[in-house]
Structure 1
Amino acid sequence: MFYRNIDDIRLDMNKSGSVHEPFLFGINYEMSEGFFVPNPLLQTDILFQIKEAGNKSSDESEKVEAHLGSNPISYLEYENKFNVVHKGLRRGDSFLTNLTIKTPIETNISLLDIFKRSKSPYQLCLPDRFVCFSPERFVRITNGAISSNPMKGTIDAGIENAEQLILNDFKETAEHNTIVDLIRNDLSMVADNVRVERFRYIDRIKSRDREILQVSSEITGDLNDDYHSHLGDIIFKLLPAGSISGAPKAATVDLIRSAEREDRGYYTGIFGYYDGTDFDSAVLIRFIEQEGDRMYFRSGGGITAYSKCEDEYQEVLNKIYFPFI
């Protein structure tokens, strides 16, 4: 089920796709570990829900009130990481860099409880390791087309005129334009006739204590007729996900490593499900991991040359939440 040789996952995806056998898979950000589960609806070792498909139990967890406390890094610590990225941006190493942090949290509920209560399009739980409640698609493949919906631009919905503010913000617009160009280029490596179907639309994401707005776009391309037997090849060509690395990818990944100075693990990796006909996948964001008896919430945001450190620090803090009431 778990692999150190990630290329075996690619080959298994190709093989299962060629015979239309369902599978679940996941790959960590560093591409040093992953998992592959044939016929995943028949097992409960790894729990998942992707839109309407999954093995998530309908049994509700005990409705104790959930508490979430956090102890984020100081503004000064974040500023040091931000400055590493900003210097790289000014040198021209990158046009857009996704900078993330790891925040210790305290809660009275387990990873499994969080998974059971979560309301999100893409959910994954490896018990005693991590839980993810991602709002962001990586790619969807159906009827010969591949599409991606990158999210770039976040604001608290409670702010007056929030939608107009985020859509008219110069920095957020520049960041979003960059990621749309990156995803168009990525999809062009595996598909023809790549086009932007929807540009800068608003997703509303509700949590237990707030609602946030996120700006998304939809980019689509056409695949060759034999794409089922090349699902692994297609996905692996697109890694790492552009929305959680940046542009250009290779130099930006190096810049991320310099700024963050720790492995991300499965955070900002990807996972997905193939039902024998259609394929859907997500970026592993909105992510809580467990190490021994400690839990950590991972969050991040895109940095451009126009970014203000104070705003970016607040954004990563705003993304620490439970996706339920």
Structure 2
Amino acid sequence: MTANEIKERMNLSGGRREPFLFGVDFELTKGFFIPSPLQQQDILFEVGGVTNVPENKNVPRGGVFERHPVSREEYERKFNVVRQGLMRGDSFLLNLTVATALETDWTLEGIFYRARSPYRLLVPDEFVCFSPEIFVRIKDGVISSFPMKGTIDARVLDAERVILEDYKERAEHYTIVDLIRNDLNRVAERVRVPRFRYIDRLGTSNGEILQVSSEVAGDLTGDCFSRLGDIVFGLLPAGSISGAPKPSTLNIIARAEKEPRGYYTGVFGYFDGEGFDSAVMIRFIEQRDGKFYFRSGGGITINSDREAEYKEVLEKVYLPFCDN
């Protein structure tokens, strides 16, 4: 299904207050739309506690999860393309992503069932996503976004203070919050930042990590659900996984990454007839030609250190549970 078809069906179903599940890729070229999603199990999902996952299903566990990351030299090539764009002023913040090859006996289904995440999605034989990052929520005429920028291993001494006081991370977070404010201003009124740079704690197979988030909100007028597709697609691609300014930043991403992201860093969401909730498709494992790849990335600014950014994208390669 094309992105435009999905948008129109979101408008139609939203206006009728009919529940649906949708997903769209980063490039806005394809996606899926599922009416009455709780009545099907072709695509499994959980969004904010709402799920169509069958209970008590026995799924085989895995034991092997080995990473085979891109080389430092390959990452350096991508990083240098980004840095040149930053030096020219074509971008102030850019999210650079890579694919890490995996050697594993886990299945996508097995990972999905054991994952502990507020947003889960399984498209069989294609990918599994266990995202901690909200895209937008719409409830009672308010649209809210929760950009997530800044990650640190919780075992670092005084980790919370370190991440909050880090100059590069602080500048990156200010930039992304400003971008999200500008995005919401296109569809909402009285845009504000109710919470700024708060800490989320996430348990992973590599240990606990801390991530820094903010909340940006605005007021929607009229019957917002009858134009739900227009609102959501007017904000894509998500600012937190693209950058600022968007058009020129997307051009740099294409030159640096040299392959489409597909569903990785796209968005998916659920409408229950009264409210809408959605997530950015990060923490993402895809299956291609019988092989598995973990997609991860990080925000790059003019102050970024290449080695630190390389380590960060590898630290994000994990299983979303505390034991294998």
| Structure 2 length-normalised TM | 0.98
Matched residue, 1:31? 28
Does the CA-based 8 Å contact 1:197-1:219 persist in structure 2? yes
Instruction: Indicate whether 1:284 and 2:281 are aligned.
Output: yes
Note the C-alpha offset of 1:14.
Answer: 0.5
Give the secondary-structure state (helix, strand or coil) at the position aligned to 2:161: helix
Write out aligned runs for 1:94-173 (5 A): 94-173=91-170
Structure 2 distance, partners of 1:265, 1:65, is 26
Does the CA-based 8 Å contact 1:71-1:105 persist in structure 2? yes
The range that moved more, 61-70 or 15-24, is 61-70
Matched residue, 2:230? 233
Distance 1:36 1:63, change over 3 A: closer
Structure 2 distance, partners of 1:155, 1:167, is 10
2:208 partner amino acid: E
1:48 to 38, 45, 48: 45
Give the secondary-structure state (helix, strand or coil) at the position aligned to 1:229: helix
Matched residue, 1:69? 66
Does the CA-based 8 Å contact 2:99-2:296 persist in structure 1? yes
Question: Percent same amino acid at aligned positions?
Answer: 59
Give the secondary-structure state (helix, strand or coil) at the position aligned to 2:63: coil
2:189 partner amino acid: D
Does the CA-based 8 Å contact 1:61-1:113 persist in structure 2? no
Note the C-alpha offset of 1:271.
Answer: 0.3
Give the secondary-structure state (helix, strand or coil) at the position aligned to 1:316: helix
Matched residue, 2:303? 306
Structure 1 distance, partners of 2:158, 2:56, is 39
Which portions of structure 1, spanning 4 or more consecutive aligned residues, are displaced by more than 4 angstroms? none
Instruction: Indicate whether 1:254 and 2:251 are aligned.
Output: yes
Matched residue, 1:297? 294
Structure 2 distance, partners of 1:57, 1:300, is 32
Structure 2 distance, partners of 1:128, 1:65, is 17
Does the CA-based 8 Å contact 1:61-1:116 persist in structure 2? no
2:216 to 215, 219, 222: 219
Aligned residue pairs, count: 322
Does the CA-based 8 Å contact 2:204-2:319 persist in structure 1? yes
Note the C-alpha offset of 1:63.
Answer: 6.1
Structure 2 distance, partners of 1:297, 1:182, is 27
Structure 2 distance, partners of 1:269, 1:72, is 22
Instruction: Indicate whether 1:270 and 2:267 are aligned.
Output: yes
Instruction: Indicate whether 1:189 and 2:186 are aligned.
Output: yes
Does the CA-based 8 Å contact 1:136-1:150 persist in structure 2? yes
Note the C-alpha offset of 1:54.
Answer: 1.3
Give the secondary-structure state (helix, strand or coil) at the position aligned to 2:94: strand
Structure 2 distance, partners of 1:133, 1:99, is 19
1:180 to 177, 180, 193: 177
The CA RMSD over aligned residues, in Å, is 0.9
Instruction: Indicate whether 1:207 and 2:192 are aligned.
Output: no
Does the CA-based 8 Å contact 1:167-1:173 persist in structure 2? yes
Matched residue, 1:323? 320
2:229 partner amino acid: G
Note the C-alpha offset of 1:76.
Answer: 1.2
1:79 partner amino acid: E
Structure 1 distance, partners of 2:85, 2:140, is 41
Note the C-alpha offset of 1:64.
Answer: 3.5
Note the C-alpha offset of 1:65.
Answer: 4.9
2:76 to 56, 79, 89: 79
Structure 2 distance, partners of 1:316, 1:52, is 28
Note the C-alpha offset of 1:57.
Answer: 2.2
- Per-residue CA deviations over 1:41-69 (Å, capped at 9, x if unaligned) read 00001110012101122225446353210
Gapped runs of 5+ residues in structure 2? none
Does the CA-based 8 Å contact 1:60-1:117 persist in structure 2? no
Does the CA-based 8 Å contact 1:57-1:116 persist in structure 2? no
Matched residue, 2:5? 8
Structure 2 distance, partners of 1:55, 1:62, is 16
- Per-residue CA deviations over 1:150-191 (Å, capped at 9, x if unaligned) read 000000001101110000000000000000000000000000
Note the C-alpha offset of 1:209.
Answer: 2.8
Note the C-alpha offset of 1:225.
Answer: 2.2
| Structure 1 length-normalised TM | 0.98
- Per-residue CA deviations over 1:208-238 (Å, capped at 9, x if unaligned) read 2311100000000000121010100000100
Give the secondary-structure state (helix, strand or coil) at the position aligned to 1:297: strand
Structure 2 distance, partners of 1:80, 1:190, is 37
